[in-house]
């Protein structure tokens, strides 16, 4: 799935506001342009995406059902 298809999927499933999926979209886009970037630019962009992911922290704790849909951990 390329970045355009992923973006369309996120839009169709109303998932464009789920931050972990936006990280995936950013990673896919970066992968698609990797050969157009210097190693330093690629590394800087990857580090930026990584930092955004780390900034999510544990925002989802307590809202697993809403964030991930359905019964979290299959009813364990």
Q: pLDDT, tens digit, for every residue of 29-56?
A: 999 999 999 999 999 999 999 998 888 8
pLDDT for 70? 58
Name residue, tokens 């886009």: 29
**Within a domain: residue 74?**
no
**Within a domain: residue 12?**
yes
**61 or 44: which carries more pLDDT confidence?**
44
**Within a domain: residue 72?**
no
Please tell me the total count of domains within the chain. Answer: 1
**Within a domain: residue 25?**
yes
CB 18 within 8 A of CB 6: no
**Within a domain: residue 24?**
yes
Question: Is residue 74 scored above 70 in pLDDT?
Answer: no
Contacts of 4 (CB under 8 A, 6+ apart): none
**5 or 19: which carries more pLDDT confidence?**
5
**Within a domain: residue 9?**
yes
Distance CA 53, CA 12 (A): 23
Structural domain span for residue 26: 3-56
């Amino acid at each position: 799935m390329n970045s355009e298809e992923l973006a369309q999927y996120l839009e169709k499933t109303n998932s464009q506001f789920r931050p972990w999926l936006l990280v995936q979209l950013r990673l896919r886009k970066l992968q698609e342009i990797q050969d157009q970037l210097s190693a330093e630019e690629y590394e800087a962009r990857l580090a930026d995406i990584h930092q955004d992911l780390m900034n999510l922290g544990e925002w989802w704790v307590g809202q697993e059902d809403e964030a991930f849909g359905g019964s979290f951990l299959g009813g364990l």
